[in-house]
Amino acid sequence: MKVLLVSPKTPDTFWSFKHVLRFVAKQAAFPPLGLLTVAAMLPRDWSLKLVDLNVTRLDDDDIRDADYVLLSAMIVHQESVREIARRCAALGKPILAGGPLFTTGHEAFPEIPHFVLGEAEIIMPQVVADLAAGTLQPFYRAAEFPPITLTPVPRYDLINPRNYVTMAVQFSRGCPFDCEFCDIVVINGRVPRTKSADQLIAELEALRRLGWKDMVFVVDDNFIGNKPRTRALLHAIIAWRERTSAAMGFLTEASINLADDAELCALMVAAGFRKVFVGIETPSAAGLEECHKLHNSDRDLVAAVQVLQRAGLEVMGGFIVGFDSDTRDIFKAQFDFIQRSGVVTAMVGLLTALPQTKLYQRLKREDRLLGESTGNNTAASLNFRPKLNREYLENGYRELMRRLYEPRHYYRRIRVLLRNHRPNHEKLRLSAVDLQAFLKSFWLLGVWHRGRFAYWRFFVGTLVRRPRQFRMAIELAIIGHHFRRVAAAL
């Protein structure tokens, strides 16, 4: 059996990091972890080929040579998915599609004949049997969320890790919170399910044996959703790193209540975690109450961010404008909060109603929906009728993004982070790729682009005052170039 696994092209978004790939000579930010995991559930004697359209192109011969095409996608991949489906149909090759895009919106793709909806672990034996027999059904959906202790080690051997900036693993699925706008609880449920510590160590060991020494993204939507199991994992990672001298570091996503647990923060840093993405959403108490983000309420959010920074974690933040309770000063409030807190990587988006979320259902009842979400967190358009003037919100959002990523504001935010951040004592590996990126940044940011004077003031000031944090500072300066390009295109 010959199976072609295809990962769609990711458009230029906040998380694509398209404009920094040139600095580090990579093709994509992250590998297609979902497809690599599904590939591990297929028989070992099948012939598998994975084509990531962010790395290489899809040839007609690849499609012709396959018995089936397996496709996994998120909402942001819609345009690329339609093109892949068109080409497969023209060549008479059946597609089996899965992933978040289809789990919540398969009805929009009548051209695709077969779907796996939801998580695959329990139903894959039936899918494999039907693939082998040539009797694929239109739909497969598990009756319950599977234990992810069933999940095998992803087939990292199907990709060339050198094409990617960051590798990826998953420890848990599901989130205990119930934010109105979020589709995680729709797709993965509210009860966090985890792998065993041994399972995840096996995945990290597979990456280490491939020679991986750089960052690994633990893609959980809330890494601390089950704190006791997270602690057990962190102890296991610490022991594994000591045993193997593994050099890789980690980033992940977690809720703001991580700041309430000093021991957990210390364990994460000791295990090699350097960055954490936190859904802060808004400094507006009314906005937090509206979206049911109650674990962010009744706390000093700036102070919570600084607790994490002082622990040794760079905080990346998610922010939203467009809540019904937002007033006309929301853009100033968001800007001031982000600048004061030193959240350098600030992913600000207009509120969007994702399919099947509580927000989507509420707006549908109120007859306020205007269309489906694009899945692009930096799309400067709303898919519902807001309470504030629509044009005011969309224009204000564009202006906020451009202002946040202006060189003088951006470098000021890095300085705030560096003042608060406690560097760990781990020796950071400076690779040839790092040196190449630094040299390119000197030319592009320090000579060619607007903002070069602010860059050199930042460069010299950091080198003189904070030499231990210089590598981190220049890395953030390079990443800022991508965000500036994204903001300018809004």
10-residue mean pLDDT series, the chain (490 residues) = 97 82 87 98 98 97 98 95 97 97 94 96 97 97 95 97 96 95 92 97 97 96 97 98 95 97 97 97 97 95 98 97 97 98 95 94 95 75 92 95 95 96 66 71 75 87 89 90 87
Please enumerate in sequence order all residues whose Cβ is within 8 A of that of 207, keeping only pairs 6 or more positions apart, or say none: 156, 161, 167, 169, 216, 248
pLDDT attached to residue 487: 87
pLDDT attached to residue 91: 97
pLDDT attached to residue 432: 66
Cα separations in angstroms, 424 against 314, 405, 427, 472, 484:
11, 27, 8, 12, 29
The CATH architecture that domain 166-404 belongs to is Alpha-Beta Barrel (3.20)
Q: What is the CATH number of domain 2-141?
A: 3.40.50.2300
pLDDT attached to residue 490: 83
pLDDT attached to residue 425: 57
Angle at 188 between CA 31 and CA 343, to 5 degrees: 60
Residue in this structure with the two tokens 């992250």, named with its chain if needed? 30
